[in-house]
Structure formats: structure tokens, C-alpha cells
Amino acid sequence: MRPDLSGIDPLQLNLATRLSVGDMLTRSAFQFPDRTAVADGAEEISYAGLDAAAEAFGRGLLDAGLQRQQPVAFLLGNSWRFVATFFGCAKAGLVALPVNLMLPADDVAWILGDSGARAVVADPAFVPILEQVLPDLPQVTTVVVTGEAPASVAGRPVLRWDDVAADPTPLQVVVEDRDTLHCLYTSGTTARPKGVLTSHLAVHVAALSNALQVGHRHGHEFSVAPIVLPLFHTTALDTLLLPVLLTGGTAILPGGFEPRSYLDVVESRRATHLLLLPMMWAAVLATPGLDERDLSSVRLCMYAMAPMPQERIGQIAAAFPGADVLLGSGQTECVPATVLQWPAHQDTKSGSWGPAVVTVDTRIMGPAGDLLPRGETGEIVYRGPHAMSGYWNNPAANTAAFAHGWFHSGDVGHLDEEAVVWFTDRVKDMVKTGGENVSSVEVERVLLSFPEITEAAVIGVPDDQWGEAVTAVVVAADRAADPADLAQRLTAFCREHLAGFQVPKRIEVLAGLPKTATGKIQKHELRARFRG
Amino acid sequence: MRPDLSGIDPLQLNLATRLSVGDMLTRSAFQFPDRTAVADGAEEISYAGLDAAAEAFGRGLLDAGLQRQQPVAFLLGNSWRFVATFFGCAKAGLVALPVNLMLPADDVAWILGDSGARAVVADPAFVPILEQVLPDLPQVTTVVVTGEAPASVAGRPVLRWDDVAADPTPLQVVVEDRDTLHCLYTSGTTARPKGVLTSHLAVHVAALSNALQVGHRHGHEFSVAPIVLPLFHTTALDTLLLPVLLTGGTAILPGGFEPRSYLDVVESRRATHLLLLPMMWAAVLATPGLDERDLSSVRLCMYAMAPMPQERIGQIAAAFPGADVLLGSGQTECVPATVLQWPAHQDTKSGSWGPAVVTVDTRIMGPAGDLLPRGETGEIVYRGPHAMSGYWNNPAANTAAFAHGWFHSGDVGHLDEEAVVWFTDRVKDMVKTGGENVSSVEVERVLLSFPEITEAAVIGVPDDQWGEAVTAVVVAADRAADPADLAQRLTAFCREHLAGFQVPKRIEVLAGLPKTATGKIQKHELRARFRG
């Protein structure tokens, strides 16, 4: 049964019935025009102001020649203009492509080239990177800068953000449920990052699901969330910012993380929802005078990316007496938080990842694609509307990612009797460090380009500060070389060719690497050896 | 930017990424297999049991020859088999068509014929209606009865519900986001009810939105909701049952409403969320011994369809001291609750409908399709994913319903400074009485078929018990007729030709009806005259 809608203009029908992330802001702005949506340290902007700016910026991009579903790359730090740029793309039916600001220039160049970005929006601090990469990227025709900038960059005229966002006429654009909302590049097991395409439907449903799960409310107890993790990651963007803006709360963007000023924000803003990495929580707990602060407004202390020792969880619970302490886990390919602990797990299952959220199925899959019973170990797989639409320009990766009708996480674990996920290992060869994914292969490629090395294996070693520490195990060409000296020069070499977070925290020089009969390096042996 | 998914089987991709209402139950059943999903007075069924029964019943319908997106009509009272039939249709990609059990046989026949239903699922009590209507409905090939039944009805073999739900092999069927989930017939302004088609996406998003708004939680404080309103209405089905099952709560189906036994259920089950019509709340408040009961488990007392006097709200708040008291409003065409009061409105804005929920836009539209400023009165219009897909087999009604890019509610009102909806009148000529929509035209048609009447107008008059009382104003052919006698015989005539809820509660005999210059009856004058 389908209705006959032949008498209705498709745009009008789309406007009346669609599920789009741009409308999320429109609704909050109509309901709460004068409430503060975002406070970014420099400025506060109301919902009405943010919505108008986003709508005008999206219109400005279309006026500059951008076409439906084309990608708009941004090199923007956390600020209200990041949020307005994101929503401007959403409202205009363009694809938001926030670039990881920690990547070296050649990765940025590769992402802009691979995605085919037509426009780049940057803070003034990133103009030098644009000067460096744009000469080889003729398809980038529109360059927008949020502040002071030269008149042109690499031969292209520079538009000022505020000038692009000048026309207040409302946008009227078709946005389909499964149109791509954002493209986030994530390090893969291959050498180059992959573009993960995610739809309006996925992100909107995830925002509803997350709001439900972490207790954001609409119409009472408005949430206040300081966000210090970078908004170019799905964690901060999809798990924290959007659920808060969906429900009329306030996002505080204080800039970089510094524990004392973070706590000042929590206290002065009466923050309700906190999300930090484990090492940041350690820094918060170590801040002098913590117990003299009024932290009673906080209802939830979330940590992401890696478990924390039970002792630290107890310390957080003691420091924030009105709050639950929960781990949220997910990945760019399946909009976080895919699995989330419940308050009851704070004491009993704190080492777990928790169960799936209401809109996600979680199972354990064997190598043949069979679903395994509870208790058995295999690959963690997901189903549901949070799943990515697919990788950009990579059909083989898509086929592998969705094999057997489930999204393959690349993580290994089991489910207990209460369907709680216990993570044990990673199928894919990745290190998760300080909230970043590091591809082992990418680091190994750099290590192996150093002439004095014949073999290299990069693994993640559990680490209190980083979650996992990037650890390199290498074999020297010259057996007589001094290990300490070699490691030092190798580190310096890595610093030149890798982003800071990719540089190994530790380099071990061995006489040889453990291998399988077919010559494949046995990383699980290395992991076991260097753990602890 | 769209991913290349050419290497993936469409069914596998659909299973991995879709937003479907059937999966809602699958997820809760995996997470909470042993929790009670539904207790219907006769039986309790766990999530695992309900999910298995639904899946098997859906498979049985496909095995019986039903095809993707074909309608399955049901004549079922509130019971766990209603819920399993509904989810069976959802999982199998069939259209659930629960029929209003209060309709007379000829309306049932009309609905089965108009929808083209291929299958009918009925409780034994409704077999006589099937005997009556099926002879003229050859397209109905499959008849399923939930209990004792004759071997055949109107020449068609009768299948037993439990036999249809016999094959436990899991279903693997493509269900698209915008596939039709249910078709609910609603009284229109024309003489015949219209089939409202609503998608999986609309109902799933509405369930998330509603769960968020009324405070159902996943993983702690599981909700317990007694449901006495009929599940064939969107209110009980989409606003109460589905959000509860989404979040792992328990739905109690005690059967018909009787205040003492309802309170027994609330008390013994530790119910958290209540939803009643205003007249039912009045009966609850009048129950002897109310203040000796332990009603501390209740967190929310909702009322629907019509405002309540402030005094009664205060009495409910006093009787349920841990609960908020809220009005929820919506309509079949825009999955309720579209607008919902907040707890803060309990005292300050109890006469309002409240603001739109997070996934709905509300505006006021003028006759030319222009959006009016706050404070001005016009038609209440909605936008968002809750909106119906459209009316079945009625392109003209669809074009009118979505004119100017908004769904037209047919209700008149204004928005205040806080975007709260204040309802004042109805554009469409409908009476809302005891939770039912009555089409004035339909009643007028019957009145006018009574030979002693020359003119008739049916209006709704505000009424403490019914919300609105169906009121008929008629002109007698014989000016000398005794009004009391005429009204009595007219009432008897209506009882023969209308459902009980459609029969006028009051009949006024006038010498003439107020009319416009062009001869149209001025109902607003009649409403003003008979109000109070």
C-alpha cells in the first residue's frame, strides 16, 4: 500500500515529511530562540542566531556554485562557526567533511583529493596548510576563511565566512533521509584513511537514541555539556553536540583541555553531561582543590574509547556525587555510542563495553558468518540505522564491511548472559591511542623507509595515559647497532613524517620477529610479550 | 557522495542498516528475553516469547500467500496476540490494518473492500461480523481466528492463529524505511473513513521521540504501562505500547476500563506511566479508597484527546504524588504525541496543548499558505518524520493535506511566545467524543435520511464526560411536530444506523438553521449557542 502523491510538488512533500539533521536545529531554534546554543569561549550564540547563521552559510555555499551532495571540507577548531558550518551543509544538502586537524599536510591533501571536495572552510591558522596543498587540487574552487586572511590562497579568491553567510532568505532544498550528511576520514588498516559516509537518518536516529540513553530531556532539566574533544570526531559531534542541540541544551566549547579551566567551566556553567578520555579524567582527579568545588550539577560522567581502572571510576563517582559514570564505545562507521554501559554497570561490569543502545543489534560472529552463542568469542558485529552508508570510493571495503548482513566492527569480544559486550581484541590492525585511531600499517610504512631498519611491527600496548600506546618493534639491519641510539634516531625520523599521535611512544629493537609458517608477523605474540 | 555498494546483496544490506519497527522487538527480545513484554489478563508473555510468536506469525502469513506490502486487517481486542499480529506484519513487510472494533458491520465491510485486505485476523467474538461481510469480499482469501471457530467462514477455510505461527525459522525480508507499517482508518469530513498510511520510519522515530519526552529509560527504571485504550487507535499503539516495548518495559492489557480493577493493576504491577481519557480520570478520582492505595510507583499521568479542568489536574497530582500530569495531543495522520505538555505546564499552561515534540515543527498558517506570527490564529500545521505517508487511494486528499509544504491538521489555534499550541477550534467538521472521531457529515447523512427531517447540522459541544458531545440540530418537516417525541424517534433511528459513539447525545429541534448568504450552515453560530 502506497499513497498516490502525484498531485504534490516533491520539494513541498520533502519539507513536510523528511528526517533531516538540519531540521533538528530549525526546531530547537523555533522553540528556544533566545537560549544559548553554543558558547565557545570567545562568543555565545543563541539558537536563533546559530540557526540563522547556519541557514545563511548553507545558502552562501549554494550561491557560490556548490551542488547537492558535494563535499565541503573544513579545517576548523571547536567554535560556534564549526557548528554553523556543519548545520549549513546539512540544511543545504551538502556533505560536511570536517578534517582531522592533527593530520600532516600530505594526509590533508590526500583527503581533499580523494573526496573531491569543491569547497574548503578554514580557520586562519590553517591557511598555511591550504597554501601548501591547494596548488595540486584544482577541483577546490571555493575557499572560505573564518577570520583574517590573505585576499587569495593558491590562486583562489578567499571568501570571508561572515560574507558567505550574508543572505537571510530561508533555504528550500530537498534533503532525503539517506542523503549523506557527513564524511569522516578514519585510519584504516591500509596506508590511507578511508572516507566514511553517514546519512541524515543514521545521525538523527543516533541523536535520539543517545539522548534517550544518557538522559537528555526536552522541556525540563536542560543539559549543559562542555565539549573539549575535537568536533571533527564522531564522538564529540554525533554523541555529544547533536543530542544536546536536539533537546535545547547548551554546548560549551572551551577550546583545548586544561583540567583547572575545564572544572571552572563545569562549575560556573552548572554542567550536566561530561565526556572525557580516561587520561583526561585522571588529570581532572589530580587537580588541586577538586573537593572544594560545587560539582553537584553533573548528572553523567562519560568516558570514551578505552576502559578505566575500577579505582578511578570510584574516584570520579566520589568527586561527582550526583553523577553516574559510564563508558561509551563506538566507531566512526556506526555512529556512537553504539554500545553504552548502564548505571547499574558502574560497579558490576565496569570492564565491559555495556549493551547495545536501543536502535542497535549486537552479536558475535564466527569466521564463517555464523552468529555465536553468548559466551563465545568472535568478531563483534552490529546492525541498525546507525550504520554508515558505506566507505567512499571503495566497493571492496563495503562488501567486506557488510558481509553476512551485519556491519563488521573489526573488534573481537563476547556477549555475556545480559547481552553486555566484553571487548577482548581487535581484528583490524589498529591502535587506539588518546582518542585517535592509528593504522599500524601507516606507521610501519614510515619505519621501514628508514634505511637502518629491515623489519617493523606496530602494536598497541595497554597504557594508563593513552588507552593504548603506539609501540614499534623493529629489527636493525646492523645487528651490532646500539638499540637506544637507533630508537632515538628512529623517533626523530617518525616525528618528521607522522602526526604527533602516530609517533611510537616506545621502540623495541629485537633480533627477529615471531612469524607464522607463511611468514606473517604474529602480532598477538608481540602484544602478549609487551603487555604490562 | 554515495558509496558504491554494488558488491552487496540488497537483502543483506537492508538487514544491516534499516530502520524498521519489527527490529525494535527483535532488539528488546535479545536484550531482555525473560522480561515480561505483555500481560493481558489471561496470559503473560516474555520478550523472547512475543518476538518468536510475532516472527512465526509473520512467516505464516507469507506462507499463506500474502505478498510484500499487502494489508492484513485485524479485528482483535487488546491482547498479546494483537501485539504479536502487529509485529508479525511489521517483520514480514506486510501492512497492519487494525480495524476499529466499535464500527458497525457495513463500515467494516467498506474498510476491508477499500483497503483490498487479503487476510483478516479476528478474535472469535468477531466471527459473526466476518460471516456477514465476507460474502461480498472475494479478495479476502485468508481468515485467521485466535480461538475457537467454525471450520470455515463464508466459504473460506479458517486458520487457527497458533497454527499459522508454527514455523520458527527466522524471517529474512526486505523492509524499507518508508514502507507502510500500518493503515488506520479515520473518520473524515466525507461520509466514509479514510485509510491513513504510516511508515516504519514515522512510527519508529515517533517511538524514540515519545520515549525521550515522557521519560522511558533503557537499562534502568523500566516502565510499566497499563493500556486500557484500544490498541487499534494510534494513541494506545504508537504513543504508549511501542515506546514501552522499545525500551524493555512491560505493557499491561487488563481489557476494558473499570476504575477499581485499573487501580488494582496500577498498584500490584507498580505501574509507572498511565494514559487515560479525561472521563476515565474522573472515574479514577471518584473511586472509593483511592487515598489508601500505594500509587507511589506512578511517574506520569497522561490524558489525551481533550483538556481537563484545572481542578481535576490538581486532584490527580494529589492522588499520584510522584507523578507529573500532562496532556498529549495528536492525530492519526501525524503519529502522536505530536504536541505534549511539559511538566512545567501542569500548573501554568494546563489549558494548552503544549509545544511540539523534538521531531515535529508546529506553525500556524493563514488561508493563503503564509505562516503567521506567534499570537495570531490560523490552522495548526505540522512538519516532520511523524507525518503520514498519505491517505490510501485518495490523491486529492493528499494534495490538500500537504499543501504549502506542511501537514494540515484541520485544527485552529495559535502559538504563544514559548511556541506552546493553544487549540481553539476545528477547521474540519469533526466531533471528538470519548476518544473517537465522529464525522459530522456521516451523522447528518443518517439524520437526513429520516423522512420527518428537512435539515440537520451536527456539532460537538464541550462536555465534561465526553470531551465533546455529539449534538444534532435539526429542522422538522412538520412545524407542528412535538420536539421531544421527534428527538426520541430520531435517536432510535440513529441507533439502528450508526455506531453507539456516533449517535447524538442531544437533539435540538429548531425552526431554521443560521446560514451564510450562499446558504452554508453557520456551525460556529450553533456551537456558540449550545456551548455551556
Q: What is the 3-state secondary structure (H, E, C) of A230-290?
A: CCCCHHHHHHHHHHHHHCCCEEECCCCCCHHHHHHHHHHHCCCEEEECHHHHHHHHCCCCH
Higher pLDDT, B522 or A369: A369
What's CA B479's distance to the chain center, in Å?
A: 42
Neighbours of A109 (CB within 10 A): 18
Please give the Cα distance from B352 to B339 (Å, whole number). Answer: 10
Mutate to test the interface with A, among B210, B358, B392, B420 (most CBs of A within 10 A): B358
Tell me the pLDDT band of B528, cut-offs 50, 70 and 90. confident
Last residue of a domain, one of B356, B391, B424: B424
Phi, psi of B356 (to 5 degrees): -65, 150
Chain B environment of A361 (Cβ under 8 Å) = 23, 26-27, 30
Is A389 a domain residue? no
Q: Which of residues 190-229 of B touch A (CB under 8 A)?
A: 195, 197, 201-202, 204-205, 208-209, 211-213, 215-220
Beta strands in B187-291 (DSSP E): 194-199, 224-226, 250-252, 273-276
Mark whether B17 and B128 lie in a shared domain. yes
Last residue of a domain, one of A198, A218, A235: A198
CATH label of the domain that carries residue A355 = 3.40.50.12780
Tell me the pLDDT band of A190, cut-offs 50, 70 and 90. very low
At B520 the pLDDT is 64
Contact A15 B405 (CB under 8 A): yes
Please give the Cα distance from B359 to A20 (Å, whole number). Answer: 10
Is A454 a domain residue? yes
Please give the Cα distance from A207 to A239 (Å, whole number). Answer: 7
Question: In this structure, what C-alpha cell is assigned to residue A456?
Answer: 617493523
Contact B8 A247 (CB under 8 A): no
Q: Identify the CA nearest to B266 among candidates B340, B320, B207.
A: B320
SS3 B87: helix
Query: Smallest CA–CA separation between A474 and chain B, in Å?
Result: 38
Cell 472509593 -> residue: B288
Contact A212 B211 (CB under 8 A): yes
At B218 the pLDDT is 84
At A189 the pLDDT is 42
Contact B394 A4 (CB under 8 A): yes
CATH label of the domain that carries residue B91 = 3.40.50.980
Mark whether B158 and B284 lie in a shared domain. no
Question: In this structure, what C-alpha cell is assigned to residue B108?
Answer: 467494516
Tell me the pLDDT band of A195, cut-offs 50, 70 and 90. very high
Please give the Cα distance from A253 to A231 (Å, whole number). Answer: 10
What average pLDDT score do residues B80-97 get?
Answer: 98
Q: Is the confidence at residue A377, as pLDDT, over 60?
A: yes
A343 close to B (CB below 8 A):
yes
Mark whether A174 and A265 lie in a shared domain. no
Overall number of domains in chain A: 3
Contact B383 A16 (CB under 8 A): yes
Least reliable range by pLDDT among A66-70, A265-269, B226-230, B498-502: B498-502
Chain B environment of A178 (Cβ under 8 Å) = 177
Contact B3 A178 (CB under 8 A): no
Higher pLDDT, B520 or B105: B105
Q: Is the confidence at residue B188, as pLDDT, over 70?
A: no
- Name A87's bridge partners: none
Higher pLDDT, A89 or A428: A89
What average pLDDT score do residues A47-74 get?
Answer: 97
The model's pTM is: 0.87
What average pLDDT score do residues A15-39 get?
Answer: 97
Mark whether A68 and A94 lie in a shared domain. yes
Mark whether B374 and B474 lie in a shared domain. no
Question: In this structure, what C-alpha cell is assigned to residue A361?
Answer: 543489534
Give chain B's mean pLDDT.
91
Q: Which of residues 373-402 of B touch A (CB under 8 A)?
A: 383-385, 387-396, 398-399, 402
Based on its alpha-carbon atoms, the radius of gyration of chain B, rounded to whole angstroms, reads 23
Tell me the pLDDT band of A517, cut-offs 50, 70 and 90. low
At A532 the pLDDT is 64
Of B5, B6, B419, Cβ closest to residue A31: B419
At A277 the pLDDT is 87
Contact A383 B219 (CB under 8 A): no
Mark whether B143 and B188 lie in a shared domain. yes
> Looking at chain B, which residue has its C-alpha nearest residue A335?
B17
Is B234 a domain residue? no
Tell me the pLDDT band of B81, cut-offs 50, 70 and 90. very high
Mark whether A217 and A268 lie in a shared domain. yes
What average pLDDT score do residues B165-190 get?
Answer: 88
B139 close to A (CB below 8 A):
no
Is B389 a domain residue? no
Contact A217 B212 (CB under 8 A): yes
Domain that holds residue B351: 202-226+245-383+409-424
Question: In this structure, what C-alpha cell is assigned to residue A108?
Answer: 590533508
At B190 the pLDDT is 47
Of A6, A180, A419, Cβ closest to residue B31: A419
Mark whether A434 and A378 lie in a shared domain. no
Tell me the pLDDT band of A109, cut-offs 50, 70 and 90. very high
Three-state secondary structure readout of A128-189: HHHHHHHHHCCCCCEEEECCCCCCEECCEEEEEHHHHCCCCCCCCCCCCCCCEEEEEEECCC
Contact A393 B4 (CB under 8 A): yes
At B256 the pLDDT is 87
Contact B402 A16 (CB under 8 A): yes
Residues 6+ apart with CB under 8 A from B64: B119, B142, B159, B164
Please give the Cα distance from B520 to B501 (Å, whole number). Answer: 26
Higher pLDDT, A157 or A477: A157
What average pLDDT score do residues A257-280 get?
Answer: 94
Please give the Cα distance from B382 to B363 (Å, whole number). Answer: 7
Of A211, A360, A398, Cβ closest to residue B4: A398
Tell me the pLDDT band of B58, cut-offs 50, 70 and 90. very high
At B120 the pLDDT is 98
Q: Which of residues 461-500 of B touch A (CB under 8 A)?
A: none
Mark whether A331 and A462 lie in a shared domain. no
Contact B197 A11 (CB under 8 A): no
Question: In this structure, what C-alpha cell is assigned to residue B30?
Answer: 535479545
Q: Is the confidence at residue A432, as pLDDT, over 90?
A: no
SS3 B249: coil
A10 close to B (CB below 8 A):
no
Alpha helices in B175-258 (DSSP H): 200-214, 234, 242-246
Give chain A's mean pLDDT.
91
Residues 6+ apart with CB under 8 A from B252: B38, B39, B40, B224, B225, B226, B227, B265, B269, B271
Query: Smallest CA–CA separation between A335 and chain B, in Å?
Result: 12
Mark whether A186 and A66 lie in a shared domain. yes
What's CA B395's distance to the chain center, in Å?
A: 23
Mutate to test the interface with B, among A12, A17, A67 (most CBs of B within 10 A): A17
Higher pLDDT, A347 or B427: A347
Q: Is the confidence at residue B217, as pLDDT, over 90?
A: no
Is B232 a domain residue? no
Angle at A251 between CA A250 and CA A257, to 5 degrees: 145
Mark whether B189 and B215 lie in a shared domain. no
Q: Are A378 and A414 in contact (CB under 8 A)?
A: yes
Alpha helices in A297-344 (DSSP H): 310-319
> Looking at chain A, which residue has its C-alpha nearest residue B356?
A31
Contact B7 A395 (CB under 8 A): yes
Share above pLDDT 90 across residues of chain A, in percent, rounded to a whole number: 70
Contact A208 B4 (CB under 8 A): no
Mutate to test the interface with A, among B212, B246, B360 (most CBs of A within 10 A): B212
Mark whether B522 and B487 lie in a shared domain. yes
Cell 456551537 -> residue: B527
Phi, psi of B54 (to 5 degrees): -65, -45
Question: In this structure, what C-alpha cell is assigned to residue B210?
Answer: 515519545
At A191 the pLDDT is 54
Question: In this structure, what C-alpha cell is assigned to residue B176?
Answer: 524499507
> Looking at chain A, which residue has its C-alpha nearest residue B401?
A8
Tell me the pLDDT band of B189, cut-offs 50, 70 and 90. very low
Handedness of CA A80, A85, A88, A89 (dihedral sign): negative
CATH label of the domain that carries residue B488 = 3.30.300.30
What average pLDDT score do residues A353-358 get?
Answer: 91
> Looking at chain A, which residue has its C-alpha nearest residue B24?
A359
Neighbours of B413 (CB within 10 A): 21
Share above pLDDT 70 across residues of chain B, in percent, rounded to a whole number: 97
Is B231 a domain residue? no
Is A72 a domain residue? yes
Q: Identify the CA nearest to A23 among candidates A229, A216, A242.
A: A242
Beta strands at B95-98 and B71-75: parallel, antiparallel or unpaired: parallel
Please give the Cα distance from B275 to B277 (Å, whole number). Answer: 7
Is B2 a domain residue? no
What are the distances in angstroms from CA A272 to CA A192, A215, A248, B104, B423?
Answer: 38, 10, 13, 54, 35
Specify the DSSP class assigned to residue A405: G
ipTM over 0.95: no
Q: Are A115 and A97 in contact (CB under 8 A)?
A: yes
How far from each other are the two terminal CA atoms of chain A, in whole angstroms? 61
Q: Are B66 and B146 in contact (CB under 8 A)?
A: no
Question: In this structure, what C-alpha cell is assigned to residue B295?
Answer: 500509587
Of A201, A247, A394, Cβ closest to residue B19: A201
